[in-house]
Amino acid sequence: MPYSTSGNREEHTANLGLIPQPVEMRTAPGVFTITPQTPLVATGEALAEARMAQDTLAPAMGFRLPLIEGDGPRNGAIVWLLDETLTELGDEGYRLDVTTEGVVIRAPKRAGLFFGLQTMRQLLPPAIFRQARVEGIEWTLPCVSITDYPRFQWRGLMVDPARHFIPKSALLRFIDVMALHKFNTLQLHLTDDQGWRIEIRKYPKLTEIGAWRDETLIGNLLHDTPHKFDGRPHGGYYTQDDIREIVRYAADRHVTVVPEIEMPGHARAAIASYPELGCNPDQRLSVRTIWGVCQDIFNPSDETIAFLQDVLVEVMELFPSTFIHIGGDEAVKDQWKASESVQARIRELGLEDEEELQSWFIRQMDDFLTRHGRRLIGWDEILQGGLAPGATVMSWRGMDGGIAAARKGHDVVMAPTSHTYFDYYQGPPEDEPLAWGGLLPLETVYDFEPIPEELDKEQSRHILGAQGQLWGEYIPDERQLEYMAYPRACALAEVVWSPKEGRDYDGFRQRLERHLERLKVLDVNYRPLDPASR
Ligand code: ACM
């Protein structure tokens, strides 16, 4: 079968509306049509991915494709091949060949087969995303030859169930839509001033007390004053069995869930549960009902360190992720400055000041996680007072923290407010639902370049990838979560997956218009596109 290589790549991909854009793609005339008799063929570990394909395609097709154990191409079939010799495709790459005779998906690792399936779903009519049998449709795939692999290994989104609890069912759906865009990392911001959202067996009060607040601020923290509250209790948490389910569900879709346990700041819900963890143990605090940076901070006693490490033990049992996020941002030091016992602790440890104390605090966690075979990641404030030896930095206050960390030989995930804060407005605030502030239009996300010019080639290797943040203060429910995430996450998916050289906003927009047909069928509550400016 001669493949057409005429015309530019953008023209071909624009026609198919693939997001993220594959590394290489050639189209050819003709289609392959999937019928109830089309077998899925796989063997060994590839069988699990073929089963995922079977399950994924069945609802809309209204039939389960027969699964045959075997290997090697065969006519009329969809063949799933694990081939370790295809090392140039990396851990997540794949090749997808569709001819009029059949389909072959090859990858060196299981993840590649899964991402190949995601491309295949996008090549089918958008009706494939329906959840019940669609009548009168031909399930055709256009003839293509695709070679595809990601640019970055960390392709993340972060959600914040601490500010508004995200029900498990919504999280599972969120993972499904992420995986469709070939994201592979979901950071769960599990603890904050306004709620503690993970069951810890050793410390039940964290969820008996810390998972519930009396009421919630109405309107924008900064602009809607005097403050009003809704008078309605809010809360919820994931049991350990819920967490196991979420982690397994994500792993089946080759998404790693990275848990975040905030320290030493953003600790109010924990301190409300166990006042001895705070700097004023005689004070009774409630779980916070208002947004913004809070003064309450963990005290740096041996007991608090032991408490947090106990929490991390249970977290590590639940989350196989190599990276464990310990927050580290916005730790206001006023209470440390005012506390005699904390000042005595600083002297006892031979430290210079509160910044060094924060660094010491993080180091206790870094040592602990490293001893357990894990890696610490934290927001860029963990650079203050000296970076812990094993730490990876998530750069949010611009790129500078990430640049400094990479220069020191530390790994970095880029998550700057300027390009990845999906809690910012997507258009003029007067036309948009209430949000935190800021402005982050789709095109700005698309223009993001995670590797700063300041870094040389060797240092650039430390940029693991990038992540979009969905802070939850103004995201009260699943519909709003999707509205803030999409289509900006489509743009970010392309930034972290597709080659830098092929970046072209106009082409992306044309593909996105096709792609939104899929999201419509999935009932993803994406923000509508602005009219095209060109
Ligand atoms: C952050 O936005 N405080 C990481």
Same domain, 337 and 310: yes
Domain that holds residue 216: 154-497
- The pLDDT, as a whole number, for residue 191 is 98
Same domain, 17 and 84: yes
Ligand 1 pocket: which of 159, 160, 330 to mutate (most atoms <8 Å of CB)? 330
Angle subtended by helix axes 340-348 and 354-371, to nearest 10: 60
Catalytic residue among 92, 97, 192, 314: 192
- The pLDDT, as a whole number, for residue 2 is 39
Counting DSSP H helices and E strands in the chain, the numbers are 18, 21
CATH of the domain at 466: 3.20.20.80
Ligand 1 pocket: which of 158, 396, 418, 421 to mutate (most atoms <8 Å of CB)? 396
pLDDT per position as a tens digit, 407-464: 999 999 999 999 999 999 999 999 999 999 999 999 999 999 999 999 999 999 999 9
- The pLDDT, as a whole number, for residue 73 is 72
Residue 523 located in a structural domain: no
Same domain, 132 and 205: no
CA of 271 to the centre of ligand 1 (A): 20
Q: Are 460 and 449 in contact (CB under 8 A)?
A: no
- Region of 386 please: left (phi>0), alpha (psi -120 to 50) or beta: left
Upstream peptide bond of 226 is cis (omega within 30 degrees of 0): yes
Helix (H, G, I), strand (E, B) or coil at 208: helix
Q: Which residues of the chain have pLDDT under 70?
A: 1-14, 533-534
pLDDT per position as a tens digit, 308-338: 999 999 999 999 999 999 999 999 999 999 9
- The pLDDT, as a whole number, for residue 11 is 44
- The pLDDT, as a whole number, for residue 508 is 96
Catalytic residue among 266, 419, 462, 515: 266
Q: How many CB atoms sit inside 10 A of residue 241's CB?
A: 10
Residue 417 Cα: closest atom of ligand 1:
2
Helix (H, G, I), strand (E, B) or coil at 215: coil
Residue 415 Cα: closest atom of ligand 1:
4
CATH of the domain at 136: 3.30.379.10
Residue 516 located in a structural domain: no
Give residues with Cβ within 8 angstroms of 405, minimum separation 6: 380, 383, 387, 391, 392, 393, 395, 411, 412, 462
Helix (H, G, I), strand (E, B) or coil at 235: strand
Residue 290 located in a structural domain: yes
Ligand 1 pocket: which residues have CB below 6 Å?
A: 329-330, 379, 396
Residue 330 Cα: closest atom of ligand 1:
3
Give residues with Cβ within 8 angstroms of 147, minimum separation 6: 22, 23, 24, 25, 89, 93, 95
Residue 465 located in a structural domain: yes
Same domain, 176 and 318: yes
Helices (H), 87-160: 110-123
Active site residue 330: yes
Same domain, 196 and 309: yes
- Size (the chain), residues: 534
- The pLDDT, as a whole number, for residue 296 is 98
Same domain, 170 and 142: no
**Distance of CA 387 to CAs 266, 364, 401, 416, Å?**
20, 12, 11, 19
**Distance of CA 102 to CAs 145, 195, 424, 479, Å?**
12, 52, 45, 39
Same domain, 229 and 264: yes
Residue 379 Cα: closest atom of ligand 1:
4
Backbone angles phi, psi at 251, to 5 degrees: -60, -40
Q: How many domains does the chain have?
A: 2
Tokens of 428: 């003029």
Same domain, 28 and 79: yes
Same domain, 245 and 119: no
Residue 512 located in a structural domain: no
Output the residue whose Cα is nearest ligand 1's atom 1: 329
Catalytic residue among 330, 355, 454, 517: 330
